[in-house]
Amino acid sequence: MVKNENIQIRDPFIFPNKKEQKYYLFGSTDKNIWGPGTGFDVYIGEDLENWNGPYPVFRPDEDFYSNKNFWAPEVHEYKGRYYMFATFLRKDNERRGTAILVSDSLLGPFQPHSNGPVTPKEWFSLDGTLFIDDEGLPWMVFCHEWVQVEDGQVCAIRLTEDLKEAIGEPIILFSASEAPWTTPLKRPKDTSDHNYVTDGTYMFRESNGELLMLWASFKNNQYAQGISRSVSRKITGPWVHDETPIYQNDGGHGMIFDTFEGKLLLTLHAPNKTPEERPLFIPVDEKNGSIKVLS
C-alpha cells in the first residue's frame, strides 16, 4: 500500500469504478515529466488514501509518435470501452497535442486509437478532455498553449463518433486573460509580460443543468484552479468566469467526482513543483451554479 503523501503525480484523474467499488487514479506519473516519456500508470484504492500500485497501463512501442512529455491522461467510458485522452510531444514537428488511446480494461493496456494527436498539427496544444453534448455528440475541449499564443486559449472541437478524428476547425471559447483572477506568468527567462496560461480543462454538469468548466492558470505566479460557466449551457458558450479561483495555494489541474458515499470531491495536484507534486482530495459543494470548497 502507498499513501497520497508518497505518490508523485501531476494532473490527477479519478475514475470511480462502481462495479468494483474502487477508485482508479490516473495522472502524469513519469518522475521527470519534462523529459523522455516512459508511459502512464494507475493506482487502485478503496478510500482515496491508501493505494495499490502503481500498475503500468500504457507503454509506447518503438514506432509510437512521441517519446517525450507524456502528460495528463484522462480515462472516460464511452460506448462500452475505455478511452484515454493524453498529451504527447510529437516526434515529427516537436509540437504537443492530445491523442486518444483505447482499452477494454481500466488496467489497460491502452493502445493508440486516433492517428496521432487530434488537435491541430501545427499548434502547441494540451490537456484534452471528452465532452458529450445534449445530442450525444462527442467533443474535445483542450488548451491552445500560451507558449505559442501568449494569451492561452481554451478551445473545443467536434470529434467523430468513433473518437478517431476531429471534425472541422477548433472553436475558441475564451482566452486566459478574460478571467478576472488570472495574472501573467512571470519567470526569469520570459521575455513577455503577457503570458497567460490555460491548463487542465474538465467539464462538469451541475444538478441544476448548468455546464461548468474547471481549468487552471496562475494568480500572482501561483498555480490556481478556476471555474467558468456557459451562459447557454452548451459547450459553445458564451463563457463567464468566477471572480476568484476555487483553489490558489499553488495547486491545480483538477477534476470533480462523486464518491461512493455520495460526496463531491475536487482532486488536483499541489504544489506545482517537480518532484513534490501530490494528489489532494478536497470536499466541495455544488449549488445553484456555484462550486464551493467546504472547510
pLDDT digits (tens, 9 = 90+) for 43-62: 999 999 999 999 999 999 99
Confidence tier at 190 by pLDDT (50, 70, 90): confident
* Confidence at residue 93, expressed as pLDDT on a 0 to 100 scale: 96
Query: What is the number of other CB atoms lying within 10 angstroms of the CB of residue 111?
Result: 12
The residues spanned by each domain of the chain are: 2-293
Q: pTM of the prediction? A: 0.97
153 — alpha (psi -120 to 50), left (phi > 0) or beta? Answer: beta
> And the C-alpha cell for 92?
515529427
* Residue type for position 111: Q
Give the neighbor-by-neighbor strand order of the sheet with 22-28: 2-3, 50-58, 40-45, 22-28, 10-17
The residues with which 153 forms a beta bridge, in sequence order, are 144, 175
* Confidence at residue 283, expressed as pLDDT on a 0 to 100 scale: 97
pLDDT, tens only, 197-211: 999 999 999 999 999
Task: State how beta strands 10-17 and 22-28 pair.
Answer: antiparallel
* Confidence at residue 192, expressed as pLDDT on a 0 to 100 scale: 74
Provide Rg for the chain, Cα atoms.
18
Give the CATH number of domain 2-293: 2.115.10.20
> And the C-alpha cell for 245?
479561483
Q: How far is CA 122 from CA 96, 97, 101, 199, in A?
A: 9, 9, 21, 18
213 alpha carbon, distance to own chain's centre: 11
